[in-house]
Amino acid sequence: MKIKATLLDQIRKHGEATYPEECCGLLLGRSGPDGNHVLALYPVENRHAEQRERRYTIAPSDYLAAERAARQQGLDVVGFYHSHPDHPARPSATDLAEATFPGYTYVIVAVHQGRAGELTAWHLTPDRTRFEPEAIEIEPETTSVDQT
């Protein structure tokens, strides 16, 4: 996964803001032969009815809104992110059971006592039996140059 540091910071801040509950959102960008290139985030509200400190749900209407927002920017939904309050940034058995999109990137940020820590990326195997680690490549921030 390629992503700018500012987007990773936004994921961390979202996790801190919703602590002790899990945050969640979608990754918008482009998919290519060298993996997913994340260019924007689409944060959403955790719609899980109970145990939001251990579970998250993205409502279908939020997913559709994210798809529309992505299309308007010439992008696609390429993955999801969520936090693990007071737990490691590793996929849980529930994460695996509820994952449905091979090819998507799944980002997890650990938030311990309200402070974001480790952030990891994963992809679901085509047979949907496990997650495998995905490298995170930090892209440089673009700067504008005055041509005068």
Q: How many residues does the chain have?
A: 148
Catalytic residues, which ones? Answer: 22
State the pLDDT at residue 143.
Answer: 56
Q: What are the tokens at 91?
A: 């996929």
Q: What are the tokens at 120?
A: 């990891």
Residue found by looking up tokens 């540091």 in the block: 5
pLDDT along the chain (148 residues), means of 10: 98 99 99 96 96 95 98 98 98 96 97 98 97 97 58
- The letter for the amino acid at 74 is G
State the pLDDT at residue 148.
Answer: 43
State the pLDDT at residue 81.
Answer: 99
- What is the sign of the dihedral through the CA atoms of 110, 67, 69 and 28? positive
The structural domains of the chain, ordered by start, are: 2-71+92-139 (3.40.140.10)
State the pLDDT at residue 141.
Answer: 87
CB atoms under 10 Å from CB of 119, counted, come to: 19
Alpha-carbon gap, residue 110 to 3, rounded angstroms: 18
Cis previous bond, 85, omega within 30: no
State the pLDDT at residue 142.
Answer: 77
